[in-house]
Amino acid sequence: MSKKSNEELILEFITETCKRQKNKGHEIGCTTNYIAEKLKMQRANVSSVLNKLYREEKIVKTKGKPVIYLVEAEAEKEDKRGINGSSGLDFLIGNSESLLKPIQQAKAAILYPPKGLHTLLLGATGVGKTMFAELMYKFAIDNEVLRENSPFVSFNCADYSNNPQLLLAQLFGAKKGSYTGANEDKEGLVQKANKGILFLDEVHRLPPEGQEMFFYLMDKGQYKPLGETGEYNKADIIIICATTENKDSSLLSTFTRRIPMVISLPSLKDRTMKERFSLLSEFLKIEASKTSKDIKVTSEVIKNLMLYNCMGNIGQLKNDIQLVCANAFLKCVVNGSDCINVDIDELPEYIKKGIINYKLHRKELDEIISDSFMFHFTIEGSKNKREQEDSSIVTTFYDSLEERISTLKARGLTEDDINLIMSMDIEKYFKKYIYKFNENINKEELSKVVDEKVIELVEGFLNYAGKELKKVFPQKIFYGLCLHVGSSIERIRLNKFVENHKINEIIEKYPKEFSVANYLADALEKEYSILVPKDEIGFITMFITDEFVSQKENNDSVVILIAMHGNSTASSMADVVNKLIGEENTFGFDMPLEKSTKVAYEELKEYIPSINKGGGVLMLADMGSLSMFGELISQETGVKIKSIDMVTTLIALEASRKAAMGTYIDDIYNEVVHKNLFNIYYSNDYTKLDKSKENVIITMCLTGEGSAIKLKNMVEEQLYIDDKNIQVIPMSISDKEDMHIRVKRVLKEKNIIAIIGTVNPELHAIPFISASELFLDKDFAKLKSIINVRKNISENSQSIEEICDKIIENFKEDIKLYDLNAFRDILVDSLKKIEEVYSIEMDLDTLVGLSMHMVCALERILGGEKGGNFRKKESFKALYSEDIEKLKYLLRNIEDKFEIIINEDELCYIYSLIKRV
* Percentage of residues in the chain having pLDDT higher than 70: 76
Query: What H or E segment, with its residue span, contains residue 11?
Result: helix 6-23
Q: Would you mind telling me the total number of residues written for the chain in this entry? A: 917
User: What CATH number has the domain bearing residue 33?
Assistant: 1.10.10.10
What confidence score (pLDDT) does residue 190 get? Answer: 92
Lowest mean pLDDT among 428-442, 522-536, 700-714: 428-442
Band of pLDDT at residue 262, cut at 50, 70 and 90: very high
Residue 642 lies in a domain: yes
Q: Is residue 93 scored above 80 in pLDDT?
A: yes
Q: In CATH, what number is assigned to the domain containing residue 623? A: 3.40.50.510
Q: Cα separation of 167 and 815, whole Å?
A: 72
- Residue 508 confidence (pLDDT): 86
Domain assignment present for 93: no
Q: Is residue 695 over pLDDT 80?
A: yes
Do 357 and 241 fall into the same domain?
Answer: no
| HSE (side-chain half, CA atoms, 13 Å) at 244 | 14
pTM beyond 0.85, yes or no: no
**In this predicted structure, what is the pLDDT of residue 486?**
79
Tell me: do 244 and 299 sit in the same domain: no
Mean pLDDT across the chain, nearest whole number? 78
Is residue 220 within 8 A of residue 203, CB to CB? The reply is: no
- Measured CA to CA, the distance from residue 823 to residue 863 in angstroms comes to 16
Q: What is the pLDDT of residue 699?
A: 86
Q: What confidence tier does 266 reach under pLDDT thresholds 50, 70, 90? A: very high
Secondary structure of residue 726 in the 3-state scheme = strand
What pLDDT is stored for residue 792 in this prediction? 52
327, 358, 391 - which closes a domain:
391
Q: What percent of the chain has pLDDT over 90?
A: 14
Using pLDDT thresholds of 50, 70 and 90, give the confidence band for residue 397.
low
Helices 649-660 and 569-581 meet at what angle, rounded to 10? 50
Q: Read off the pLDDT of residues 311-352 as tens digits, 9 standing for 90 and up.
A: 889 989 998 998 888 888 877 776 778 889 898 888 888 888
Say which residue, 528 or 856, is predicted with more confidence.
528
DSSP element (H, E) containing 707: helix 705-719
Are both 193 and 259 inside the same structural domain?
yes
Is residue 382 included in any domain, yes or no?
yes
Contact call for residues 125 and 244 (beta carbons, < 8 A): yes
* Residue 737 predicted with pLDDT over 70: no
Between 248-252, 456-460, 847-851, the lowest mean confidence (pLDDT) is in: 847-851
Question: CA-CA distance, 117 to 260, in Å (whole number)?
Answer: 7
Longest dimension (CA), the chain: 108
| The pLDDT value given to residue 85 | 44
pLDDT exceeds 80 at position 655: yes
Give strand pairing partners of 155: 200
- Indicate the pLDDT class of residue 65, thresholds 50, 70 and 90: low
Q: Give the lowest-confidence range in 11-20, 662-671, 776-785, 789-798.
A: 789-798
293-307, 489-503, 687-701, 807-821, range with greatest mean pLDDT:
293-307
Last residue of a domain, one of 230, 249, 266: 266
- Helix (H), strand (E) at residue 728: strand 726-732
Q: What confidence tens digit (pLDDT) does each residue in 223-233 have?
A: 988 888 888 89
Closest CA to 201 of 156, 137, 244, 245: 156
> Which residues, including other chains, have CB under 8 Å from residue 501's CB and lie 6 or more apart?
419, 422, 423, 426
Residue 870 CA to chain centroid, in angstroms?
24
Domain edge (last residue) among 71, 90, 105: 71
Report the DSSP beta bridge partners of residue 750.
694
Q: 541 with 506: CB under 8 angstroms?
A: yes
Instruction: Please report whether residue 115 resides in a domain.
Output: no
Are both 615 and 691 inside the same structural domain?
no
Per-residue CA distances from 172 to 192, 195, 433 (Å): 10, 15, 68
Q: Can you give the pLDDT at residue 192? A: 93
Domain assignment present for residue 781? The answer is: no
Interval 18-35 mean pLDDT: 76
Q: Which of 386-390, 451-455, 765-769, 816-820 has the lowest mean pLDDT?
A: 386-390
Distances (CA, A) of 113 to 430, 689, 771: 62, 78, 85
Q: Do 763 and 857 sit in the same domain of this protein?
A: no
Q: Tell me the CA distances in angstroms from 345 to 276, 304, 349, 357, one per residue in order.
A: 22, 12, 9, 19
- Per the CB < 8 A criterion, the answer to whether 435 and 476 are in contact is yes
Whether the pLDDT of residue 371 is over 90: the answer is no
Mean pLDDT over 652-680 rounds to 70
490 domain residue, yes or no: yes
- At residue 734, the pLDDT reads 61
Predicted local confidence at residue 552, as pLDDT = 43
DSSP letter string, 277-335: HHHHHHHHHHHHHHHTSEEEEEHHHHHHHHHS--TTHHHHHHHHHHHHHHHHHHHHHHH
What mean pLDDT is predicted for residues 540-546?
84
The residues facing 156 across adjacent strands are 201
Same domain, 559 and 648: yes
Q: Is the pLDDT assigned to residue 551 strictly greater than 60?
A: no
pLDDT at 81: 39
Please give the DSSP secondary-structure letter assigned to residue 870.
P
pLDDT of residue 797: 45
Helical pair 597-611 and 626-637, crossing angle rounded to 10 deg: 50
- Reported as a pLDDT band with limits 50, 70 and 90, residue 791 is low
Task: Categorize the per-residue pLDDT at 683 as very low, low, confident or very high, splitting at 50, 70 and 90.
Answer: very low
First-last CA distance in the chain? 61
Spatial distance between the Cα atoms of 497 and 539, rounded to a whole number of angstroms: 12
At residue 266, what is the residue type?
P
Q: Are residues 480 and 578 in the same domain?
A: no
The pLDDT of residue 17 is above 70 = yes
pLDDT score of 688 more than 60: no
pLDDT of residue 795: 42
- Residue of higher predicted confidence among 554 and 131: 131
What is the number of domains present in the chain?
7
Residue 595: pLDDT band by 50, 70, 90 thresholds? confident
Q: Is the pLDDT of residue 249 over 60?
A: yes
Sequence-distant (6+) residues with CB within 8 A of 859 are 815, 816, 817, 818
Give the Cα separation of 750 and 727 in Å (integer): 10
Residues 717 and 798 in one domain: no
B/e letters for 789-812, b = 16+ CB within 10 Å, e = fewer, are bbeebeeeeeebeebbebbbebbe
Is 178's pLDDT higher than 80? no
769 and 859 in a single domain? The answer is no
Domain-located, residue 459: yes
- The enclosing domain of 758 has a CATH number of 3.40.50
What DSSP line would sit under 518-551, residue for residue?
HHHHHHHHHHH-----HHHHHHHHHHT-HHHH--
Q: Are residues 559 and 593 in the same domain?
A: yes
pLDDT of residue 498: 66
Decide if pLDDT at 637 tops 60: yes
Q: Tell me the mean pLDDT in the region 83-109.
A: 81
pLDDT band at 651 (very low <50, low <70, confident <90, very high): confident
Verify that 542 and 597 share a domain, yes or no: no
Top-ranked range on mean pLDDT: pick from 144-153, 624-633, 686-695: 144-153
**Integer Cα distance of 35 and 51 in angstroms:** 13
**What's at 11, amino acid-wise?**
L
* CATH code of residue 360: 1.10.8.60
**Residue 434 resides in a domain:** yes
Helical residues (DSSP H) of 336-412, grouped into ranges: 349-352, 362-368, 397-410
108, 261 contact by CB (below 8 A): yes
Cβ atoms of residues 379 and 287 within 8 Å? no
* pLDDT surpasses 60 at 603: yes
290 and 374 assigned to the same domain: yes
Predicted confidence at residue 200, as pLDDT, reads 94
- The domain of 169 spans 129-266
Q: pLDDT tier at 264 (50, 70, 90 boundaries)? A: very high
CA separation for the pair 465, 463 (Å, rounded)? 6
pLDDT grade for 519, boundaries at 50, 70 and 90: very high
In angstroms, rounded to a whole number, what is the distance separating the alpha carbons of residues 773 and 767? Answer: 13
Check if the beta carbon of residue 758 is closer than 8 Å to that of residue 699: no
Closest CA to 281 of 309, 315, 305: 305
Q: Whole-angstrom Cα distance, residue 549 to residue 546?
A: 5
Residue 26: what pLDDT?
62
Which CATH number does the domain housing residue 186 bear?
Answer: 3.40.50.300
